[in-house]
Structure 1
Amino acid sequence: MRKLDQRGMAAFEFCLVAVPLFTLMFAIFDLGRYAITMQSLRTLANAGARTWMINDCYVNNVMTKSSPTCSGDPLPSAAAKKAVAPMLGGLSPTLNTTSGASALTVTASLPSFNMLMPIWGTALNAPSASTTIPF
């Protein structure tokens, strides 16, 4: 019986293993990036809500039992946002405030964030987090 030629088998086996290995590594890296971004946005929304609670907009209105009418960005400067959420890097998050019938909601969003791996689609692009302050 004749012996088969084994040249190139190691390269072929490496290709079979490398594709799923690198796909898994980049997927884990991408999900970690998303988790850090979501945590930073939650921290930023909490800091914005805390700023509204400390400011006259919220405290005086709640003490007089009237609905607070806070609007706009509680942390208007980019430096203040960077100090609260430094892990966002060069990305610029937005903070919005909405007043409802019984709560004040501060929402932090990052519309410029995109996932690197195309396997996620667009479901995880532009993450946002919000904090609600009841009154």
Structure 2
Amino acid sequence: MSAVGSGKSGLSARFRTLGRRGATSLEFALVGTILLGLLLGTMELGRYLITVQALRTASAEAVRMATLRGSQNLNSGTAACTSLSGNLPGVAARVPFLDASGLTATVSDCATQAGITSVTVTVQYPFTLQVTLFGAPSRVMTETAQAFFN
């Protein structure tokens, strides 16, 4: 009686072992894809936030350059908005994270009223996702800054 009982329990133990083979690999495949997606998503989010901050720094630098040029114009006796239109070169030097060839900084508005000059600068940069999971592979990011001086 004991030999028959031990044979059945040994057989069921063997089936339990064979039935669990590969379960760990399957569980890792399921959990690993989720973890990989979270890792890649976190990296993309980090790149996006760094690019946003660099774009804000670039817009602040562009406004500073426009203000300095306007102040130089006022000190030389010309109107503050003289030669303050179009592209502002040299802005990319302050943001080494961004590709200088894709960064554009333009003075979109310069006006003087009652001795106070307002300058509006728009900075644009194309942001490309490295992992295009949800369709939108690229978009142009825009940051606008405004300064007042007299």
Which is higher, the Rg of structure 1 or of structure 2?
2
The answer for the alignment partner of 1:118 in structure 2 is 132
The answer for the alignment partner of 1:97 in structure 2 is 107
More strand by share: 2
CA distance in structure 2 between the partners assigned to 1:25 and 1:90 by the alignment:
28
The answer for the alignment partner of 1:33 in structure 2 is 47
- Residues 94 and 36 of structure 1: is their aligned pair in 2 closer, same or farther, counting only changes over 3 Å? same
Structure 1, unpaired ranges of 5+: none
What's the CA shift for 1:100? 5.8
Check if 1:9 corresponds to 2:23: yes
Give the number of the structure with larger relative contact order, counting CA–CA contacts within 8 Å between residues 6 or more apart.
1
TM-score by length of 1: 0.76
Can you list the C-alpha shifts for 1:23-50, whole angstroms capped at 9, x where unaligned? 0110110011011111111111111110
Taking only the aligned residue pairs, the percentage that are identical comes to 29
The answer for the alignment partner of 1:109 in structure 2 is 124
The answer for the alignment partner of 2:94 in structure 1 is 84
Check if 1:131 corresponds to 2:124: no
Read off the aligned partner of 2:67 and give its amino acid letter.
M
Q: Is the 8 A contact 1:43 1:85 kept in 2?
A: yes
TM-score by length of 2: 0.69
Aligned length: 128
What's the CA shift for 1:116? 2.5
| CA RMSD across the alignment | 3.0
CA distance in structure 1 between the partners assigned to 2:140 and 2:72 by the alignment:
29
- Residues 42 and 59 of structure 1: is their aligned pair in 2 closer, same or farther, counting only changes over 3 Å? farther
Which consecutive segments of 4 or more residues in structure 1 shift more than 4 A? none
CA distance in structure 2 between the partners assigned to 1:23 and 1:53 by the alignment:
45
CA distance in structure 2 between the partners assigned to 1:47 and 1:34 by the alignment:
20
- Residues 14 and 53 of structure 1: is their aligned pair in 2 closer, same or farther, counting only changes over 3 Å? same
Structure 1 residues 16-55: aligned runs within 5 Å: 16-55=30-69
Structure 2, unpaired ranges of 5+: 1-8
Q: Is the 8 A contact 1:58 1:68 kept in 2?
A: no
- Residues 94 and 67 of structure 1: is their aligned pair in 2 closer, same or farther, counting only changes over 3 Å? same
Q: Is the 8 A contact 1:73 1:96 kept in 2?
A: yes
Q: Is the 8 A contact 2:58 2:92 kept in 1?
A: no
